[in-house]
Every structure is written in C-alpha cells, then in structure tokens.
Amino acid sequence: MSLAFIGLGSNLGDGRANLKEAWQRLGKTRGITPLGLSSPYQTAPVGMASKQWFTNAAGAIDTKLTPQELLAILLDIEQAMGRDRSKGEDRTVDLDLLLYDDLVLNSAQLEIPHPEMQHRLFVLAPLEELAPDHIHPQTELTIRQLRRNLADRDQQIRKGSWQERKQP
C-alpha cells in the first residue's frame, strides 16, 4: 500500500457537499482506503479571474493503485460530478494528487509532488491538519514548515466545519 494525499476544491454550488461527495466516491473505489479528511477551508481564488471563493480540503488515503491509475480515478470523479475542463476556471470539484509516498515524478500527464503545492496556503493549511510532519520529497521540509513559510503571504483563508450551521 502507498500513502497518498489528495487536494479537494470546489467553487460552484455547495462546496462542502461537493467535497463530501467526491471523498465518498473516492472511498468506494477498489484499491483505495480513506484515512482522513481535513476540515474544509473557505479560500479566495488564487491565480485566476474568478471571484467565486473555494471550499478546499485535503484527504489522506492508502492505495494499491499506481499514481497514474489514481489520477485516472480522480479525473473520472471530477467528470462524473460535472467538471468540464474546457469551460473555464470555475468548477464543481477539483481533485489533485498532491503527494504519493516519497515519489518524485515528472511526466506530461502527472507531476508528483504537485508542482505548486508549496506556494498555496489553500493546499498546505488543510494538509497540515493531516500530516504536519510529512516531508515534501523535493524541498525536504515538513508540511508544517512549508505552511509557516507562507504565513506572510496575502492569501485569504478561513477554516470551517463539516457541520451544517443551524439557522436561529
């Protein structure tokens, strides 16, 4: 079994519900055992024209799948949940393979570790909940150290809860 970390994001519809559904679909896939899902985070879009805030989270899984097989599953779930990569930046769900054991892979289809993760607070904050001492195989820094390196960056983020808020 291999340990993998998945980034989850959504900025269309009910983000929390979309991420929960994607996580449940992932957990029903043969060869994948879910280990944990971070809290949801509300985050301003980074590097895109959209004004729609995202709901982001990170998940840890054990898997028997190869990185390429896992990527195919992630893309299938995105498509099944309505993501159309040709229609722009907003998305019902975005699933990224962030880390896979200590593998470093750079191919036309897949880069592991995810090439931008160390610059993105919306990835590192939820990932830090799950694996603060996990070492990034290229930077050789822990997730906690990478997260602290972004402390002064101007990235808007708010930690949330999976629980629905009750209206008074």
The residue range of the domain holding 121 is 2-159
- Residue 166 resides in a domain: no
101-144 pLDDT, tens digit each? 999 999 999 999 999 999 999 999 999 999 999 999 999 999 99
The distance between the two most distant Cα atoms of the chain, rounded to a whole number of Å, is: 52
Helix, coil or strand: residue 146 = helix
- What is the set of active-site residues? 83, 91, 94, 96
29-85 pLDDT, tens digit each? 999 999 999 999 998 887 777 788 999 999 999 999 999 999 999 999 999 998 877
Of the pLDDT bands very low, low, confident and very high (cuts 50, 70, 90), residue 88 is low
Domain count, the chain: 1
- Residue 89 resides in a domain: yes
pLDDT of residue 72: 97
Distances (CA, A) of 143 to 52, 99, 114, 149: 27, 11, 13, 10
Q: What is the pTM of this model?
A: 0.92
- Residue 167 resides in a domain: no
Q: What is the CATH number of the domain that holds 119?
A: 3.30.70.560
Please state whether 60 falls in left (phi above 0), alpha (psi between -120 and 50) or beta. beta
- Residue 105 resides in a domain: yes
- Residue 165 resides in a domain: no
